[in-house]
Structure 1
Amino acid sequence: MINKFVVVDLETTGNNPKKGDKIIQFAAVVIEDGKITESFSSLVNPQRPIPAFIEELTGLEDNMVKDAPLFTEIAPKVNELLEGAYFVAHNVLFDLSFLQEELIQAGFEGFYGSVLDTVEMARIIFPTADGYKLSDLAVREDLQHDRPHQADSDAQVTAELFLILVNRLSQLPELTLRQLSQLSGGLKSDLQQLIDEIILELDQISVSWQESLEICNHTFALKKPLSISMLTNRQYQEDDQYPSSEDEKVVMVKKAFTNFEKRIGQFQMMDGVYRSFHSGKHTLIEAGTGVGKSLGYLLPVAYFSKQNNQPIVVSTHTIQLQEQIIYKEIPLLAKILPFEIKCVLLKGRNHYISLEKFALSLLEENDNYDTTLTKMQILVWLTETNTGDRDELNLSSGGNIFWNKIKNEQTIFSMNKIWQEKDFYLRAQSEAQNADIIITNHSLLLSNLSSETSILPKFDYAVIDEGHHFEKVASQYFGRSLDYLTTRLLLSQFGQYEQRMLFYELEMILDSLKTAREEVLETGKINQLAVDLSYEMDEFFKLTALYAKTNSGERRGINRAKVRFTHNDGGKERNALVHSAERFAFLLKDLQTAITHRLELIKKSNGALTSKQKGKLEEIISFRNELEELRLTVQDCFIKKSDDVKWIEIDFRSQQNVTTFYAQPAFVSASLKERFFNSKRGVVLTSATLTVNHSFDYVINEIGLVKDSTLTMVIPSPFDYKNQVQLLIPDDLPEVNATSLEDYVIAITEHIITIAEATKGRMLILFTAHDMLKKTYELIKESGFLDDFAMIAQGITSGSRSRLTRNFQRYDKAILLGTSSFWEGVDIPGEDLSCLVIVRLPFSPPDEPLTEAKCQVIKQRGGNAFTEYSLPEAILRFKQGFGRLIRTEKDRGIMLVFDKRITTTKYGKAFLKSIPDVPMKKGNIDELVEIIYKWL
């Protein structure tokens, strides 16, 4: 047994040792008997200049390595350290390939022992981590990582991380370890060897996992279910009255906070929500940042629910807010309330794992790397999840494909009783039946409108948080979309007979049952159908791209475009696309019919099916249902006449992968009024941005409420904006609409550089179009003036919005450039964000398909499209952008608006009137920088 691990990290002049890249720093940390026993590090003279970007990344410069030893001088020590050890590194193939090259050149044999990769290990052992970069994992595990990208610091942190990973592995049940060992033969590293050594050392007597885990159906270990009800001191009693006075509320709320600060606005909101439900009226509440709106509605919701024995649904737009409510706000509520409250988080069925399908997938072999890794992640995750919800997992794109095979769905052939008892979805649903508060999202709330897909129990009262998104989500819900990648992945699941996918499996099951096949299509014909379908799908998306290209007009210069599709343009590209859609829909119907006939034969045959065959049949039924969904989408988008707005979104650089067709209603107010608001007794819609120029009219019209019977409340933010914010408007920039994109970018780039030097970074710059963001980013980089700043740009720097935001907070001097999704939901409190720049007022482009269609409808009925739609929509987004700057009462910040129209036009005043009253100064950039220096 090997009990020595050497954790290695290198800094190098580039990525390719074969092309002459060299090591500039070597570090190793030795672990023996579970402890760090030795460390060694040395700078190395590469005998060639260090490239500028490596200097920037590592902080290592030519003069620091010029007197360092050559690698040949430290090679004997390196070789001695590695003898008889596991070679461990974060992304092991990189470090190993460099070291091999250098050791062989120094006259040694190189390293041919066992290797372990802490990236691979972390992905398996921390399946829910946000990211697997060393710095992300160090933050997660609270490890001091003071000098990222310096080998000695990186090696030390990797060694500490490795010890944590090994310790976590050794706490897993033996069954899970044996399953991981079986799968790990397909990994890049020798993890199987390590796991087998851990299994040999397991102490059978001290099995610490038994309190929290159970072995389910002899198949895998599962966490024992936790009830989500928040137990306080007692059950609800008739005389538990809602705290109507301010003093009563203060006494109650104090219980939950060590540093209690009275928020009058929060108390007003509590009363507003309680009053709304009691009067049976719908209510709009705009609650400014810092009001504490989650608790502002949860407390009255809890009382009303208990007093009237009614479940209340709380719906949010983002997963982050759902998780914040369930893990942070509900425990606070439990401390405040004198009685017990039951709360459950409920998502759509496909969000939950099907344990039975997963168990069957473990019997299959010949997995690719992504599937193997995902199975291992899920085995570990099942020992720690309370919910079985895929949103907890950090899966690769290949992992997402595997998830589709094991997601929870209605079953016909299988569902063994044992699995039914443990099923996460059924458990969440049954908890929802008895819950007082059900947390969900806008899409699921809307899917309840049709009874076939209804997952939520019957409810009459709801709170819609992040309510400014409700109209947009409703448009998507009442619409349809069709994209190339999803469609291709779906059809590839069925495959042709010789590809041994679902089609092959279906034929094998039929053969095993010796079923008479006279009345069904023979195998060869179905095979041809699969070939034709795949060809027609490609053809259909090629014609979609061709239509977009031909009709993209002026915008051909840019890579991404949204192109409206109309039924009356009569062009040959449009006709060809519609004919292809008709053929596609017919072929989908034919394949669906053929599968259905085969399934009916199997049902009639009464032959005994193995559990593996039942699992396959479930996959086939699920595939057939998705085929029907796809056919209806094609039909609705191209064959049925409708008033929906239709458009194509495409990236001309990669049109095969990025082509999506959308169909959505221009307005959803009538549908929402009739199908949602009219059937509910009391709905509270809340957000920080619901009013335009102090009026709720725009939102009331958009979502289909009736003005006279809707209650409204504005609760201002408790922040002292007058002393916390300075609004600056440069008057030496060109008019945004009177200048070319290139000239405007040059002008604003100069300003951004000057401002960044004054604020020392800590800037968020909001754009309305990715094209302008990209050009500005490139010009800043090219100028070289901000080389010592971390530049993080949406769509250029890889990662999700939350990851980019975290990276921004990690650097002292950072600039974050964002478009659409960064205008809201980004929460960067404190000094990390001191300066917000709005590059132009956030009007939607007039040729954006939904905007264009809405404006046409308004004009046709004699209205003014600008004042009724374009302006209010832009003002709401502007308010969202403004809300990024001040997140706590101690924050201070500068906001710059580069778009002069805010002061030179009549409508510009409406933007200023819609945000809190803050001091505003205009001037040239030198005068404004003077103010910035003084202020910060």
Structure 2
Amino acid sequence: MKQRFVVVDLETTGNSPKKGDRIIQIAAVVIENEEIIDQYTTFVNPCVPIPSFIEELTGINDEMVKQAPLFEEVAPELTRILKDSIFVAHNVLFDLNFLQSEFNRVGCPEFVGLNVDTVELAKVLLPTSDSYKLFELTECLAIKHDRPHQADSDALVTAELLLQFINQTRELPLVTLEKLAKLSIGLKSNLNEIFEDILTEKRNHLENLSEHLEVFKGIALRKKNKKYSNYNYREKKEYPLHQHDKQKLLSNGIKHYEVRDGQHEMMDTVYEAFRLNKHAMIEAGTGIGKSIAYLLPSIYFSKTENQPILISTHTIQLQDQLLNTELKKLEKVLSFPFKAVVLKGKQHYINLFKFEQTLYEADQQYDTILTKMQLLVWLIHTETGDIDEVNLSSGGKIFWNRIRHDGWHLSKERDPWIAKDFYLYARREAENADIVITNHSMLLLDLIQKQQLFKEFNYVVIDEAHHFEKTSRGFLGEKLEYIPSKFFCSQLGSYEKKQLFYQLEVMVQKQKISLKMPTFELDFIIAELETEIDELFTIIAEKLLKNEKKNKGHHKLQIRLSNKLLKEKSLQPILFAAERVISSVNQIRSGLEERLSQLKKISEKLSEKDKALLEEVFSYDHELVSFKHSIQHLLLEQTNEFVYWLEGDMRAIPNSISIQAQPISVSEKLSKEFFAKRKSVILTSATLTVKDSFRFFENELGLHQFADLIKKQIPSPFPYSEMTKLLIPNDIPEIREVAVSEYVEAIANHLIAIAQATKGRMLVLFTSYDMLKKTYELMKESGLLDDFILIAQGITTGSRMRLTKNFQRFDKAVLFGTNSFWEGVDIPGEDLSCLSIVRLPFSPPDEPYTWAKNEAIQAEGKNPFSTYSLPEAVIRFKQGFGRLIRSGTDKGIVIVFDRRIETTSYGNAFIRSIPSVPIEHVSLKEMIETVENWL
């Protein structure tokens, strides 16, 4: 490749040169003939102070740049270096635009030429990467990165990244590269220069396609793994009953294996429950190693009894961990082969027929172009066709909705890709596997769609079982949101869909059949539907905002749609709007079905392109059916078994609005239609008991009806009393006795002092976003933590995983979280030394589901607080407490600010449900001394 590239990286005081932000360091690396031939770097005096956050991030301070040249002094040299080059940067628009702005400011000519963004190139070539941040990419590709966030180091590794990407591009099959080159013209940076150059090279040489790949209909695919082909290896295997045998087996195959009696006890409980055909609930404390504890007996039982075992998890992360880590360990441990696969719902798998046809479309939408390129590269690597492997943008997910699998509406055999279909392959693999891993939602398909995907699975393990009841409620309920509804309608009315409907009309007319509803009329009704949906959600928005005063300033707005409320005059406009939406949906479906029924009769005569179009229209018709059913159930045909409500966020009306329904109880349904139809179901989690009793989850899941239910509590092997202390401040006001503002002020003052004592490394858990925001603002505005990084959910941008990673990167950081941060956050070691719980995690009594649940419990003559509210809060508290100690070497402090834990009769329920730890009631001064001594 003969182009000259100059890789540039800037460190700046902020993101906006127009607001006075300036460059503090510049680096440029010159590449010619794919070799680094020169490097240039300099500090730059910005003539403004460097913010503490930037100093923490980069390590560059005011003293280091005081004697550095001004930008106008280095600009001529930069202009010389960049001349006749392709400008390269990681996130090129930031560096290039910032530099152009500075050139303008000092009167230098702007850079004129092509640019390449290594972020964009990474997204195309590494579609499965979790992150496209420079530090994480270099870590993944084993590129040494000495000083992240210093320009000279960042520019050098970006140059090495570019060279690696050029080599990776050369390794792509010719057919893939041809399609990438054609699509890349629509990207934001000039990647087409790289693709076209390498394409020219490859066309001059005969290509030897890798033996792992095949080309079908112009698309390169990875061949399916033949490892388990026609696998049917079943043979009785003697389960290691004695502790010594288990220890010997596991220590031989697992490095640094630690003997844990609790793990062996859980193995025996799982195996015994399977053998006796009984259901079991097992609470396994942190550090037990519960994944291995249920996988090992599951494999032995499966081999011995010729029975497949289904493992269900709540999160994709745990599915991946089971398949790629825990089961890999057991492959080394066991002397016999076993087969384990992951099976998900068909919507997770790509429909290759639809995807192929979209490649012939002339796209102008950026996210669609980028996603097509990602998928073309992904298809030469994936063996599963599961989209969860791909890091899609939000726009990419929209495109995915067009090409995801939803079965066959025409005859399956007419799909030319049928032999390559990933979903069918996954189903076949699952049919003769020993262990099949899935998720709770997939497992619940049986209950609502009667698909009986798992009818042959009589033995099931449900991990993360504390989520199973809530997942069941969500899955058996309904949810209609404004943005997806609006998007669905806009897709129906898009230019592409109008063209598609006109093509259908032409196809029908060729059969000399006249249509009752011409396409122009169909277009009109689709436009009407979009307007009617806007009207429906506008009326709902007005109703929510009128109710805002009752929400006491909270951003989350909710109105429960009780039978009494639905009869009120104020709600009639919502019901009338819903009826108009249903009427339009019925008309659109009538027009589509008229076309589909005629064309289905002659589908064998259609071209492949026409068949793919037809499949897409069938998918839209199915979505219309689902959309109509949701509106009918949510607003027009309500039942007493469900709770219904309107919800929105005051800061994002109408975009945040949703209409929701959930069954008040899933106990009966799960009992009769799930547990009763299986021989043995094991439910396990670290949090299944309240005050050493399983009664709460037994009742919620319907397991109280099984008299022979096995219940086992296996405590954590960690010596908690030596690893942590629980501190309860005695100088914080009681939350029920003061205004929220006074309570928040006291909390903020304590947290500032604690953060200084712990030097950050603190996670603060809240039960409401509003309290989190007010506390964060008070701590930020105090000026006492200017050298700390404060990272707050909902304020700092990024996902939970991104916020957690950023927290771990900085020495002096405080992480504020609510809702999802109470569980699933794993920060082992010294990165987290202090956990602060601001309030006991009770659900608000006026929250629609809690309100309806409490009403139902009261109607049964029971106490709603002790039956539901308290146990639910205790379970959540246990989850929060579990964030601190994640390994046997962790140490830290837990602080509970809510004094109800000691001043109320029910407070002891929280204490009794966590491991035994020393508890101290202390003033702020005593707390700081304790923290400093302990840490």
Q: Same fold (TM over 0.5)?
A: yes
Aligned length: 930
Q: SS in structure 2 opposite 1:314?
A: strand
AA aligned opposite 1:250: Q
Q: Distance in 2 between matches of 1:568 and 1:105?
A: 66
| Residue 836 to residue 694, structure 1, CA distance change in 2 (3 Å) | same
- Mapped contact 2:561–2:645 kept (Cα < 8 A): yes
Q: Residue 456 of structure 1: CA displacement?
A: 3.4
Q: Which sits farther off after the overlay, 775-784 or 501-510?
A: 501-510
How far is 1:208 from its partner? 7.2
Q: What do residues 381-419 of structure 1 show as CA deviations (whole Å, max 9, x unaligned)?
A: 112112111111111111111000110121234765541
| Structure 2 residue 299 is matched with structure 1 residue 280 | no
Match of 2:197 in 1: 197
Q: Tell me how far apart the structure 1 counterparts of residues 609 and 440 of structure 2 sit (CA, whole Å).
A: 37
Equivalent positions of 1:847-866 (< 5 A) are 847-866=846-865
Specify the code of the residue in structure 1 equivalent to 2:446. Answer: N
**What amino acid does structure 2 have at the position aligned with 1:900?**
R
**Correspondence for 1:431:** 429
Cross-structure match for 2:8 = 8
Secondary structure (helix, strand or coil) at the match of 1:685 reads strand
After superposition, what is the alpha-carbon deviation per residue over 1:703-749, rounded to whole angstroms, capped at 9, x for unaligned?
A: 00125221100111110111111111111101112222211111111
Residue in 2 that maps onto 1:839: 838
2:588 match: 591
More deviation in 270-279 or 55-64?
Answer: 55-64
Q: Distance in 2 between matches of 1:50 and 1:719?
A: 45
Match of 1:548 among 544, 552, 566: 544
Task: Give 1:75's aligned amino acid.
Answer: A
Q: Greater CA deviation, 34-43 or 57-66?
A: 57-66
- CA distance in 2 between partners of 1:115 and 1:397 (Å): 25
- Structure 1: distance between partners of 2:820 and 2:135: 25
For the structure 1 residues 568 and 365, does the alpha-carbon distance in structure 2 shift closer, same or farther, using more than 3 Å as the test?
Answer: same
Determine if contact 2:284/2:715 at 8 Å carries over to the other structure. yes
Q: CA 1:148 to 1:785, structure 2 compared with 1: closer, same or farther past 3 Å? A: farther
* 8 Å contact from structure 1 (residues 433, 457) kept in 2: no
The Cα offsets for residues 624-663 of structure 1, whole Å up to 9 and x where unpaired, read as 0010011111111122230210112201222221111111
**Deviation of the 1:295 alpha carbon:** 0.8
What's the offset of the Cα at 1:196? 1.3
Change over 3 Å in CA distance of 1:782–1:505 after alignment to 2:
same
The equivalent of 2:764 in structure 1 is 765
Give the Cα separation in 1 of the matches to 2:284 and 2:579.
49
Q: Structure 1-normalised TM-score?
A: 0.96
Pick the aligned partner of 1:689 from 677, 687, 690. Answer: 687
Deviation track 1:594-647 (CA, whole Å, cap 9, x = no partner) reads: 211111122345683221221111111100001001111111112223021011
Structure 1 residue ranges without an equivalent (≥5): none
Aligned AA (2:369): T
Between the aligned partners of 2:148 and 2:603, the Cα distance in structure 1 is: 64
* Alignment match, 1:698: 696
Relative distance call for 1:50 and 1:877 in structure 2 (3 A) is closer
Q: 1:224 is matched by which residue type in structure 2?
A: K
- In the alignment, the residues of structure 1 paired with residue 154 and residue 639 of structure 2 have an alpha-carbon distance, to the nearest angstrom, of 59
The equivalent residue for 1:933 is 932
Aligned residue for 2:572, secondary structure, equals: helix
Question: Amino acid of the residue matched to residue 909 of structure 2?
Answer: A
- Please identify, of 446-455 and 326-335, the stretch whose mean Cα deviation from structure 2 is larger: 446-455
User: Following the alignment from structure 2 to structure 1, what is the Cα–Cα distance between the partners of residues 512 and 742?
Assistant: 74
- Using a 3 Å threshold, how does the CA distance of structure 1 residues 866 and 512 change in structure 2: closer, same or farther? closer
- State the shift of 1:44 in Å: 2.0
Alignment of 1:386-535 (within 5 A): 386-413=383-410, 416=414, 418-450=416-448, 452-456=450-454, 458-495=456-493, 499-513=494-508, 514-518=510-514, 520-535=516-531
Taking a change above 3 Å as real, the CA distance of residues 48 and 298 of structure 1, as seen in their structure-2 partners, is: closer
Q: What amino acid maps onto 1:560 in structure 2?
A: K
**How far 1:559 moved relative to its partner?**
2.2
**Does the aligned pair in 1 maintain the 2:687–2:875 contact within 8 Å?**
yes
Instruction: Give how far 1:63 is off.
Output: 4.2
CA contact (8 A) 1:697 1:707 kept: no
SS at match of 2:433: coil
For 1:589, give the aligned amino acid: N
- Please tell me whether the aligned partners of residues 544 and 559 of structure 2 are also in contact (alpha carbons under 8 angstroms): yes
Deviation at 1:316, TM superposition (A): 0.4
Q: CA deviation at 1:53?
A: 5.4
In 2, Cα distance between equivalents of 1:95 and 1:710? 63
DSSP 3-state at the match of 1:11: strand
Give the counterpart of 1:341 among 338, 341, 365.
Answer: 338
Partner of 2:324: 327
Offset at residue 106 of structure 1 (A)? 5.7
Q: Do the aligned partners of residues 661 and 502 (structure 1) sit closer, same or farther apart at CA in structure 2, a change above 3 Å counting?
A: same
SS of the equivalent of 1:29 reads: strand
* 1:215 equivalenced with 2:215 (yes/no): yes
* Residues 743-752 or 4-13, more deviating: 4-13
One-letter identity of the residue aligned with 2:563: H
Equivalent position of 1:621 in the other structure: 618
Please say if residues 793 and 818 of structure 2, whose CA atoms lie closer than 8 Å, have aligned partners that are also in contact: yes
Structure 1 pair 265/182, CA: closer, same or farther in 2 (3 Å)?
Answer: same
CA distance in structure 2 between the partners assigned to 1:17 and 1:209 by the alignment: 49
Query: Hey, what does 2:557 align to over in structure 1?
Result: 561
Mark the CA change 1:13 to 1:267 in structure 2 (over 3 Å): closer, same or farther. closer
1:137 deviation in Å?
A: 2.1
Identify the residue that residue 80 of structure 1 maps to in structure 2.
Answer: 80
Alignment partners' CA distance in 2, 1:340 and 1:204: 46
User: What is the alpha-carbon distance in structure 1 between the residues aligned to residue 628 and residue 187 of structure 2?
Assistant: 39
Change beyond 3 A, Cα 1:15–1:338: closer
1:453 partner SS: coil
Closer, same or farther in 2 for the Cα pair 1:410/1:48, shift >3 Å? same
Distance in 1 between residues matched to 2:738 and 2:392, nearest whole Å: 45
1:563 aligned partner, one-letter code: I
Distance 1:297 1:731, change over 3 A: same
Letter in 1 for 2:432: N
> Which residue matches 2:887?
888
Answer with 185-194 or 65-74: which moved more.
65-74
Shift of 1:177: 1.2
* Per-residue CA distance 1:158-183 (angstroms, 9 max, x = gap): 22222222222221112111111100
1:675 equivalent in structure 2: 673
RMSD: 2.2
Identity across the alignment (%):
49
Question: Which is worse superposed, 597-606 or 746-755?
Answer: 597-606
- Contact in 2 for aligned 1:230/1:342 (Cα 8 Å): no
Q: Output the amino acid matched with 1:735.
A: E
Q: Alpha carbons of 1:36 and 1:461: their partners in 2 closer, same or farther (altered >3 Å)?
A: same
Deviation at 1:61, TM superposition (A): 4.1
Please state how far the C-alpha of 1:328 moved relative to its aligned partner.
Answer: 0.6
| Amino acid aligned to 1:186 | G
Taking the aligned partners of 1:293 and 1:536, their CA distance within structure 2 comes to 51
Distance 2:7 2:589 in 1: 55
Cα distance in 1 for partners of 2:725, 2:20 equals 53
Tell whether 2:795 aligns with 1:796: yes
Paired residue secondary structure (1:866)? helix
Relative to structure 1, the CA distance from residue 71 to residue 606 in structure 2 (aligned partners, 3 Å threshold; closer, same or farther) is closer
| In 1, Cα distance between equivalents of 2:364 and 2:728 | 59
**Could you tell me whether the CA contact under 8 Å between 1:230 and 1:343 is conserved in 2?**
no
Question: Does the 8 Å CA contact 2:410/2:603 hold for their aligned counterparts?
Answer: no
Larger displacement relative to structure 2 (123-132 or 147-156): 147-156
Match of residue 111 from structure 1:
111
Secondary structure of 2:815's match?
strand
Query: Offset at 1:59?
Result: 4.3
Deviates more, 1:560-569 or 1:117-126: 560-569
2:353 equivalent in structure 1: 356
For the residues of structure 1 that align with 2:804 and 2:157, how far apart are their CA atoms? Answer: 23
Q: Structure 1 residue 782 and structure 2 residue 781: aligned?
A: yes
Contact 1:834 1:892 survives alignment (8 Å)? yes
Measure how far apart 1:75 and its partner are: 2.7
What runs of 5+ residues in structure 2 fail to find an aligned partner? none
Contact 2:353 2:415 in 1 (8 A): no
Residue 826 of structure 1 corresponds to 825
CA distance in 1, matches of 2:651, 2:449: 42
Deviation at 1:190, TM superposition (A): 1.2
Q: Say which SS state the counterpart of residue 7 (structure 1) adopts.
A: strand
Residue type of the partner of 1:141? L
Q: Are the aligned partners of 1:830 and 1:888 in contact in 2 as well (CA < 8 Å)?
A: yes
